[in-house]
Amino acid sequence: MHRFFLPPTQTPNPSPALTGREAHHAVQVLRLQKGQMLTLLDGAGGTRICEVQNCTRGSVRLLVKEEKKLPPPPCRITLLQALPKGKIFEDIIQKATELGVHRIVPILSERVTTRLDEENAAVKTAKWRMVAIEAIKQCGAAWLPEICEPQTPARFLARNETFDLPLIASLHPGSRPAREYFDAFRHRHLRQPASIGVWIGPEGDLSPAEVQSILSGGALPITLGPLVLRVETAAIYCMSIANHELLVDTQGSTAEAFT
């Protein structure tokens, strides 16, 4: 069943309509006809099974046949990703969305080669949000991650935002496996973290001064193994580790994946 996206403000009634890009894709690409069924995602937990009532070139009128509301994930993961070169960041958004990230913050660190003025940053951010929308349509995720505008590490740290488990991928001595921090948190609090922040540097890594400021803000250095990973690999690695550890119950055993 094909999936489409409509934000919550456009799906308040039993007869929503696809317009714009979504209508074009439904009519011109997929050739949907009256009576066919599709899935409508609103990115805020709402999933609706709809029947096509009418198709025109610019609009597809739907009738909601079934709907459900899914709660947000129990742990909100924020990926603080330094901007890599080219279109690699789009791949990171796609994969992180598939892995259930709550928010992605593009970081303009010292060694980032991409420089954006205010106008270009807004255009890029809008494009990245479209990438995230396409990703939830592909994987069926009920929640659309927030894609923030690019900012420096100093600007983000100035917000004094706290995470239950703040982490930074680091090549420096003293970094520990992420599992040790998860185990320590579960032992101390008898629960899983409700929020995780993960910092990942660009090609060439974050500068020593940036690493120090992030560590001073409370982040815990994690190792990703003995090999130097590409930026996109490091992001997927960290999201996968977080997802795996969140399946472990507070007694240290792996939670049942199926009931």
What is the CATH classification number for the domain harbouring 43? 2.40.240.20
Whether residues 61 and 111 share a domain: the answer is no
Percent of all residues in the chain with a pLDDT value above 70, rounded to a whole number:
95
What total of structural domains would you count in the chain?
A: 2
For residue 257, is it within any domain? no
The mean per-residue pLDDT over the stretch 222-249 comes to 92
Whether residues 221 and 157 share a domain: the answer is yes
Whether residues 108 and 227 share a domain: the answer is yes
- pLDDT, tens only, 35-68: 999 999 999 999 999 999 999 888 999 999 999 9
Bridge partners for 121 per DSSP: none
The mean per-residue pLDDT over the stretch 142-165 comes to 95
Range of the domain at 220: 76-245
pLDDT at 145 over 90: yes
For residue 258, is it within any domain? no
pLDDT at 250: 63
Whether residues 111 and 199 share a domain: the answer is yes
Whether residues 62 and 110 share a domain: the answer is no
For residue 238, is it within any domain? yes
pLDDT at 255 over 70: no
Q: Report whether 202 contacts 149 (CB < 8 A).
A: no
- pLDDT, tens only, 85-134: 888 999 999 999 999 999 999 999 988 877 777 778 889 999 999 999 99
pLDDT at 233 over 90: yes
Whether residues 102 and 173 share a domain: the answer is yes
Whether residues 29 and 114 share a domain: the answer is no
How many CB atoms sit inside 10 A of residue 214's CB? 26
Whether residues 64 and 136 share a domain: the answer is no
For residue 166, is it within any domain? yes
Quick one: tokens of 226? 């003995």
For residue 111, is it within any domain? yes
Q: What is the band of 253 on the pLDDT scale with cuts at 50, 70, 90?
A: low
For residue 254, is it within any domain? no
pLDDT at 256: 46
Q: What is the band of 258 on the pLDDT scale with cuts at 50, 70, 90?
A: very low
pLDDT at 1 over 60: yes
Give dist(CA 199, CA 81) in Å, integer: 6
Whether residues 32 and 80 share a domain: the answer is no
Residues in CB range of 238: below 8 A, 6 or more apart: 79, 167, 169, 178, 198, 200, 222, 224
For residue 200, is it within any domain? yes
- Helix, strand, or coil here: 236? helix
Give the chain's radius of gyration (CA, Å). Answer: 20
- pLDDT, tens only, 179-211: 999 999 999 999 999 999 999 999 888 999 999
